[in-house]
Amino acid sequence: MTIKTEAYTVHRKLLEEKPEQYEEEVRERLLTGLPVKGYEYVEAQRVKQLAVEEFNNVLKEVDIILTPTLSIMPSDFNQREVKINEEKLHIRAAPTRLTGPTNLNGFPSLNVPCGISKNGLPIGMQLIGGPFDEANLYNYGYAFEQEFSLNLNSNLE
């Protein structure tokens, strides 16, 4: 909610005056921030603070948090809905389920290729670090790439 509200606010004037300057998909995404109420935005800020506290607590115990980058494989270009565990989601919501928390709380994250799906698509893992800990994420990402030396380009030929 925070991101879509802030994105709409930044683009509001141009969206109103020259909407044709935005691709349809981008325009649709930006317009999702229009109906957000003030109290909803304030509540989202409260949730953001809770997310910051939770991540800080976890990162007191571990150097990084590791998750898949996406909860689904990339979909067909025109697909508008996907199913995850029998739950139907708009295609925009599904990819951000695992990356959204760091978009919300501002913690740095790094996507590192970690394999290839049976359909030949790249699979990524997300490394999440504490505030201003990008160097640590780069070191972990580099170490993973060196240790596993995946030849991801071989499937692209």
Q: Convert the pLDDT of each residue in 97-154 to its tens digit.
A: 788 888 889 999 999 999 888 888 888 999 999 999 999 999 999 999 888 876 655 5
Structure tokens given for 31:
């317009």
pTM comes to 0.74
CA 145 – CA 151 distance, rounded (Å): 10
| Residue-wise pLDDT tens digits, 19-69 | 999 998 899 889 988 999 999 999 989 999 999 999 999 999 999 999 999
The count of domains in the chain is 1
Report if residue 22 sits inside a domain: no
CA angle 137/138/140 to nearest 5° reads 65
Q: How many CB atoms lie within 10 A of CB 127?
A: 23
Report if residue 89 sits inside a domain: yes
Helix 2-17, helix 24-31: angle, nearest 10: 120
Which domain does 85 fall in, by range? 62-156
Q: How many CB atoms lie within 10 A of CB 78?
A: 6
Report if residue 31 sits inside a domain: no
Report if residue 29 sits inside a domain: no
Report if residue 43 sits inside a domain: no
Report if residue 41 sits inside a domain: no
